[in-house]
Structures are given as C-alpha cells and as structure tokens.
Amino acid sequence: MNKNIVIASGDPAGCGPLITTKAIERCSGKKINFFVVGDQEVFKEIPRFKKIKNRINFINLNTCKITKIKKGHPSKLSGYAALSYLQKALEIMKEKKITRLVTAPLSKEAAQKVSSDFQGHTEYLANHFRIKNFAMMMFSEKIKLVLLTRHVPLYKVSGLITEKVVDNALSLVISFLQKKCKIKKPKIALLSVNPHAGVNTFFGKEEKILARVIAKFKESVCGPYPADTIFTNAANCEYDCLVCAYHDQGMIPFKLLSMKNGVNITLGLPIIRTSPAHGVACDAIISNKTLFSSSMSKAIEIAIKIDHPQNQHKAE
C-alpha cells in the first residue's frame, strides 16, 4: 500500500511545526511518504528538523515576512500562513491523488483576521469539498464521540438539534464504524440535552426529537442518556461511540480521558482527515513548557489505519 500523507503544519506561531517534526521523527521506522507544507524559515529553527528534512517532501511556501512572527502569539500573518498551508495541502492532494490529510492546529482567531467566516478545519474542508453532511469525531483507544453541534454558543444548541441533523449524524457514525473500523454491529449511545433526561424522565422537547430518531436506528442506537453518568460506561468500552449534543458536553470528558492521545477525524469527506485533539498551545509556548507530540503521532497512525483497504480490525 502506498502510504502517502500530506501535512498542513498549522499556525507557525503555535505548536504545529514542532509537533509535526517530532511526530515524523517518531515514524522513522515506518514506510510513510510525507508531504509537509510550511515555511522552511520556521522549521529550520527546530533542531529536530535536520534529522527529518531529507526523509520528507517539504513544500516551502516562503511566506513574506514570516520571520516577523513571534512564537506563542498568533497574528494576522500567522493566520494567513496557516490558511495558505492548508490550501496548498489540498492542491497537492488533488494533484498527486493522495487521500490522507493530517492538519496541525491553527488559531481560529488568527485565521478569522484573514477570513472572517472561518469556523475551523472541519467546516473549511466540508465547504472545500462541497459536503453538506459531515461531522467531527473525537477518537481514541478509550473513547469515541461525535458532536451534533460544534462551535456555537450554548443558547443556540437547542434550535440546531433537529431530526434531520441527528439522523444525518447517526448515519455518518454508523457508516464510519462499519466501513473504517470494521465493527459489524456498532453500539452507539445518544446523549440528552437536558440534565437527568434519561429514558422516560425529564424529557424536554430536545429529548423527544432524539427519541424519534433513535427509533429509526434501534438496532444500533440507544438513549437518550444523561451525560453525567454515561462516560463511565463509555470508558469501560460498553459503547463504540457516543453522540453528544454540544461541544463541551463531549470535549471536557474526552480531553480528561484522552488529551495526549486523542485524534479529531472529519466524517463525510471524500478524503481521510485527522488532527491532534488539542489547539495551538500558545500558553505552553510562552511559558516554555515541553510540548507533547503524541496526539499528532496518533493522528498520523489513525490516518493510515482507517484508510487501509485491507484493515479487518478495529482502528484502535
């Protein structure tokens, strides 16, 4: 199998270049053909880069004034660079017919200074490929979950949860688990929106919507379950995936369980796209803390596994 991977190196003011370099170094014994998009002026400041530069295809965009960027401080320039890396990565994928994309973290705030409607990698890629039905899956060996709504204010969540939205998300999850993870009969738990909204208790209008959709998928989906108890069962592998109503309902427990090994996967795209399950880590850069690259390494590993046509085992 041809293991080609394109990496968009993320915001150059953040952790992207460093964790990209570290992760590739950890893959030294694996036959992976890396195409890394970034700026060489940024990467050459990373000592480890010397060890890998002859083993990768580095696409240097030579961004104007890139040396003006201050590490740990995303700016309009770093946002422009990050979006340029992403756009070039997609061009390379199309040109070379590569199906795997790994994206290092970028700063949404910095990107929005360049493109005011930018919401995140997930939405950007869906728009690029003109995909209407897509979802963000958080993936680790301990737990998998999907968000019904993503980066929206909490007060808007209720109005965004419709039968169509839930139906589409469940269809994507079931398809992914069956086709990519080789789980023939996936078991999925759908979480309630309101506190203690378990079966037949404290049902709000949102839970009534969820219950109607669950009835369509009764062989694979159960719930709705209260979010304050379900994650213990999920961590004990009782479910193949949880479907959460809103961002923090899923992301807080996910990061507690899998911060250093979690991967973000975009469902519904014609390509495989993975990313580490954390942000640009500017606070750690400013305070000179050691940055971990294990999540980036996992993103590369999972991109290979779930895009392997002969894979007959669960992706973890």
Q: Radius of gyration (Cα) for the chain, nearest Å? A: 20
Nearest 10 degrees: Cα torsion 185, 186, 192, 196: 80
pLDDT tens digits, 176-229:
999 999 999 999 999 999 988 876 677 789 999 999 999 999 899 999 999 988
**DSSP assignment of 31-69:** --EEEEEE-HHHHTTSTTHHHHGGGSEEEE---TTGGGP
* Statement: residue 132 has pLDDT above 50: yes
pLDDT of residue 311: 44
pLDDT tens digits, 24-34:
999 876 789 99
**196-234 core/surface letters (b: 16 or more CB in 10 A; e: else):** ebeeeeebeebbebbbebbeebeebbebbbbbeebbeeb
* Closest CA relative to residue 99, chosen from 110, 89, 109: 89
Rounded to the nearest 5 percent, the helix, strand and coil shares of the chain are 40, 15, 40
pLDDT of residue 236: 62
* Closest CA relative to residue 20, chosen from 280, 259, 221, 249: 280
User: Position of tokens 């942000």?
Assistant: 279
Confidence band of 309 (pLDDT split at 50, 70, 90): very low
In the chain, the domains with their CATH numbers are 1-134+261-316 (3.40.718.10), 142-260 (3.40.718.10)
Confidence band of 234 (pLDDT split at 50, 70, 90): low
